[in-house]
Structure 1
Amino acid sequence: MKIRRWYWPAVALVAFAGLVFASLGIAKPAPQAGAVTQATKVTLQLKWVTQAQFAGYYAAKAKGYYTAAGLDVNIKPGGPDITPEQVVASGQAEFGIDWLPSLLSSRDKGSDLVNIAQVYTRSGMTELTWKDSGIDTIAKMRGKKVGNWLFGNEFELFAALVKNGMDPTKNKGVTIVQQPFSMDLFLQRKIDSASAMTYNELAQVLESKNPKTGKLYQLSDLNVIRMESVGTGMLEDGVFVRGDWIKDSKNQATAKKFLEASFRGWIFCRDNLAECTSIVLKNSPILGKGHQTWQMNEVNALIWPSKQGIGVMDQRAFTRTASISRQFGVIKKLPSGAFRSDLAKAAVKALKAKGQDAVGAKWRKASVKVTAGGK
């Protein structure tokens, strides 16, 4: 093999430099480590489409909180044909977001999924009826057409109906109508009652024009029956993972980092409603600025204040959700091992050490103006 002529002088120079460093007692400069550490890639499967319901996660990504934690987070929107539990159980995502009753139902059927953070501390589920219908209680829904989206969203409503002597699973005493993901059936009065989240479908009704007046509908036109008020409110959006995945210590460290960054995103959204709404809008939600602003405000109300720190499961609330689920047939037996709070507590502790308010005791809802069509 030929050796280029400049090679031998170069070797001699390197050797000479080594002798000089050695004679002077100076260590040779160590090679620099790579400036960029490989980020841990994880996927988060949302319960539903892009909207302010998930603003904290989008904020954590946009503000660089995930990156700072060494994470590369892929946020996957959900939809009517996507079940987060199935996505996570199959290994297509490390983290999922869904309501606790849906998670418990999945576990009851044999899945190995574990809630590691309960972000929403109270239920946003309601049933809407028209004020002039006279249907202002669950009991008065007997013999009526009651709408719900189903696909795991029905448990709070079904529990309330069973509590009042009806069997929605067999259409006994009430007729369940599968509600589309719009409020058209309700606005057209084709159903007597419609399921509505405080942060979404309620706003859709208020953003619609009353054909009789030509003006937007008002809260005074509606009966808003909250599942919390009828005693069947259940815990909703929480973060879950596979049980076998979280047993690994490396994955526990990843999960703790993910939760800390996500919680910081939610804290940002609590304290910066307008900017956080803008972050959501940059991710192309279906509905506009007015609707997302309303939603951000109402979602904050389901999280804050968080007495034990954001994401830490309230044992009493969990027990209530599990008991109602069992009493009304959502699950066959009371669950064990369905959640763990150590990772959320560790994340909250880390945030507090960095001066972050993870409780939000002084938070108050803002006044948000309803806009036509949510624009």
Structure 2
Amino acid sequence: MKKLIQLGLGFSCLILFSACGNGQASKSKEKKDKITFVLDWTPNTNHTGLYVAKEKGYYDDLGLDVEIIQPSEDSASMLVASGKAAFGISAQDSLAANYAAKEPLPITTVAAILQHNTSGIMSRKDEGLEQPKGLEGTTYATWDSPVEQAMIKNVMEKDGGDFSKVKLIPNNIVDESLALKEKQADSIWVFYGWGGVSAEIQQVPTDFFYFKDLNPVFDYYTPVIIANNDFLVKNTDVAKRFLQATKKGYEETIASPEEAAKILLKAAPELDETLVNASQKWLADQYQAQSTNWGVIDPNRWNAFYNWLSENQLVENTIPENTGFTNDYLVE
């Protein structure tokens, strides 16, 4: 009997140790790939798809542990280039100087958040600034960027205007609608999905023109998702899984903007609820637009803008075609 009891205890321990071993193996399998994603600014509706993917478990489902952070003193591009973040947000125009440099930072654009450039010039309504020529003799709040000013000069000249007659003042504006209302400036460059929608909510009557409507070359990609080159090479599968889940997050945002707005507000409760909801509805048609898939970059449009910069000597060196972007990590 004693031998039977000892045998039974030994068998029980064997099962216990086996179970413990299986538990550890299972725990090991559940270990997720860690990804740090850095925003370009504070959270806003350009970023909603990321928060939806995180909140709804799309990253978890694909074995990813994604942390979304805001940039500190360094820009998102610098943080991604240094490897402190695997992915981040930038814009094609902002990246131009890097790709024209002799030793560019190791970053590549892997997805377009919006399919078209939704930026343009906003001004007070019925003051004659609904067309570029109308900017003559008025004040424009500038970031003092050569590319910015060259674009305005281009659309003004196409409209028969003279850029030298625009009065440039520093752009230290936080609330564009309020700045126009209080006549701090006559015109401001804004992205309609936030600045333009905000003016509608605040009931500030405005005129607006898109750069892309006046010159197709200016329909470049902004904002975009960038990635660290070494990360892409060494973690190809992880990068594809990340973009697959992110794509699902943006598709969900397109389909259900009201629910997506709630998720963004949960992640960033400091945002104005009315503005977030209105902006989310407006952007629902912009994330993918007429493209068959979210995130895809058209090489012709990408190259056209960089060729224009090179031709107008707005970058240090000519940017070779198809430089700085890839669609290879997007999974249909």
Q: Same fold (TM over 0.5)?
A: yes
Gaps of 5+ in 2: none
Q: Do the aligned partners of residues 326 and 298 (structure 1) sit closer, same or farther apart at CA in structure 2, a change above 3 Å counting?
A: farther
User: How far off its partner does 1:264 sit?
Assistant: 0.2
Q: Which has the higher helix share?
A: 2
Q: In the aligned structure 1, how far is the partner of 2:222 from the partner of 2:139?
A: 25
Structure 1 segments (4+ residues) deviating >6 Å? 15-18
Is 1:124–2:118 an aligned residue pair? Answer: yes
Q: In the aligned structure 2, how far is the partner of 1:29 from the partner of 1:285?
A: 44
Q: In the aligned structure 2, how far is the partner of 1:244 from the partner of 1:233?
A: 29
Q: 2:318 aligns with which of 314, 326, 333?
A: 333
SS of equivalent residue, structure 2 residue 291: coil
Answer yes or no: is the 8 Å Cα contact 1:100–1:235 preserved in 2: yes
Q: 1:70 aligns with which of 63, 68, 73?
A: 63
Give the structure with higher Rg (CA): 1
2:287 aligned partner: 303
Q: In the aligned structure 1, how far is the partner of 2:292 from the partner of 2:300?
A: 12
Is 1:324–2:308 an aligned residue pair? Answer: yes
Q: In the aligned structure 2, how far is the partner of 1:71 from the partner of 1:328?
A: 43
Is 1:224–2:216 an aligned residue pair? Answer: no
Q: In the aligned structure 2, how far is the partner of 1:242 from the partner of 1:290?
A: 36
2:49 aligned partner: 56
Give the residue type in structure 2 aligned to 1:42: I
Answer yes or no: is the 8 Å Cα contact 2:43–2:268 preserved in 1: yes
Q: In the aligned structure 2, how far is the partner of 1:29 from the partner of 1:86?
A: 47
User: How far off its partner does 1:323 sit?
Assistant: 2.3
Is 1:284–2:268 an aligned residue pair? Answer: yes
TM-score normalised by structure 2 residue count: 0.83
SS of equivalent residue, structure 1 residue 52: coil
Is 1:44–2:32 an aligned residue pair? Answer: no
Q: Do the aligned partners of residues 129 and 13 (structure 1) sit closer, same or farther apart at CA in structure 2, a change above 3 Å counting?
A: closer
Q: In the aligned structure 1, how far is the partner of 2:282 from the partner of 2:132?
A: 23
1:14 aligned partner: 10
TM-score normalised by structure 1 residue count: 0.75
Is 1:241–2:237 an aligned residue pair? Answer: no
Q: In the aligned structure 1, how far is the partner of 2:52 from the partner of 2:271?
A: 18
Give the residue type in structure 1 aligned to 2:48: A
Q: In the aligned structure 1, how far is the partner of 2:311 from the partner of 2:270?
A: 37
Is 1:164–2:156 an aligned residue pair? Answer: yes
Q: In the aligned structure 2, how far is the partner of 1:297 from the partner of 1:29?
A: 51
SS of equivalent residue, structure 2 residue 213: coil
Is 1:97–2:85 an aligned residue pair? Answer: no
SS of equivalent residue, structure 1 residue 303: coil
Answer yes or no: is the 8 Å Cα contact 1:61–1:73 preserved in 2: yes
Q: In the aligned structure 2, how far is the partner of 1:207 from the partner of 1:17?
A: 69
What percent identity do the matched residue pairs reach? Answer: 19
Give the residue type in structure 2 aligned to 1:108: A
Answer yes or no: is the 8 Å Cα contact 1:123–1:302 preserved in 2: no
User: How far off its partner does 1:261 sit?
Assistant: 0.3
Q: 2:132 aligns with which of 123, 126, 138?
A: 138
User: How far off its partner does 1:50 sit?
Assistant: 1.1
User: How far off its partner does 1:245 sit?
Assistant: 2.6
Answer yes or no: is the 8 Å Cα contact 2:99–2:323 preserved in 1: no
User: How far off its partner does 1:147 sit?
Assistant: 1.7
User: How far off its partner does 1:157 sit?
Assistant: 5.7
User: How far off its partner does 1:70 sit?
Assistant: 0.8
Is 1:198–2:183 an aligned residue pair? Answer: no
Q: 1:252 aligns with which of 211, 236, 253?
A: 236
Query: Residues 274-296 of structure 1: CA distance to partner in whole angstroms, max 9, x if unpaired?
Result: 11000011012543221001111
Answer yes or no: is the 8 Å Cα contact 2:115–2:291 preserved in 1: no
Give the residue type in structure 2 aligned to 1:14: G
User: How far off its partner does 1:124 sit?
Assistant: 1.1
Query: Residues 140-195 of structure 1: CA distance to partner in whole angstroms, max 9, x if unpaired?
Result: 32343212456x7x8456413245359xxxx9443333322222332211212111
User: How far off its partner does 1:30 sit?
Assistant: 10
Q: In the aligned structure 2, how far is the partner of 1:143 from the partner of 1:334?
A: 35
